[in-house]
Amino acid sequence: MFIGHFAPAFIARGLTEEAPKLGTLFVAAQLVDWGFFTLALIGVEKLRLVPGITAMNPLDLYHMPYTHSLLGTGAWALGFAMVIWFVSRNFVAATWGAIVVMSHWLLDLLVHRPDLTIAGGEHKLGFGLWDSPPIAMPVEIGLILAAYLFYISRTKGPLIPPLILLATMLLFQAINWFGPKPQEAGVAMFATALLSFAILTALAYWVQATRWHKNQVGLAVPSVRR
């Protein structure tokens, strides 16, 4: 799953103004993948390309105990929550940040082949929707569109920035699905993934600067745009 991971970010920010800003929630949504590709760059976590290992991609994610185990994801979520609380002193914001980080493991559980673990052990989990494109693709697109529309319905502001964000997300997802497959699991592949996360996160920070919750009206609105 790629852009589907950002759905909880839209939902959390749409639900409450106390949730972290949308850009921050975009970081939370892909935090463990930020960690994974960074650790893969230095050889701590590992993947290899095995053509045909799933119908949708050739990724054999055979060693990622620090980011994609349930325990590892929980540690990233706790660390992220602590940073949010330290900056904002807002327990609600910290909790929402942690929830969005944790959502990554649960969404991966739907699509991954059995390569996720509870605590880095030998028992592997994954429902394997990557082997069923007619199911996996509509699920991912439907999830992100529903979350995006919920966010738009709960906020006010110009539509051009969020439409650009959505269009970019859909473009990146199309490239991920239908573009050339990577030939080597190396620096170029890892850096491309990190760059895509960075671009979408930057756009999310732009969007958050243009929108506010509908319950914020009148003279207060200019002072609460974030």
Which residue range(s) make up the domain with 89? Answer: 3-212
Per the domain annotation, does 224 fall within a domain? Answer: no
Confidence band for 182, pLDDT divided at 50, 70 and 90? confident
Query: How does pLDDT run across 76-92, given as a tens digit for each residue?
Result: 999 999 999 999 999 99
Query: Can you tell me the mean pLDDT for 42-56?
Result: 94
Confidence band for 184, pLDDT divided at 50, 70 and 90? confident
Q: Which pLDDT score, from 0 to 100, does residue 223 have?
A: 41
Per the domain annotation, does 218 fall within a domain? Answer: no
Query: How does pLDDT run across 110-127, given as a tens digit for each residue?
Result: 999 999 999 998 899 999
Number of folded domains that form the chain: 1
User: Is the pLDDT at 224 greater than 70, yes or no?
Assistant: no
Q: Which pLDDT score, from 0 to 100, does residue 215 have?
A: 66
Cα dihedral 127, 129, 130, 131 sign: positive
Per the domain annotation, does 219 fall within a domain? Answer: no
Per the domain annotation, does 22 fall within a domain? Answer: yes
Average pLDDT across the chain, whole number: 93
Q: Which pLDDT score, from 0 to 100, does residue 217 have?
A: 52
Tell me which amino acid residue 103 is: S
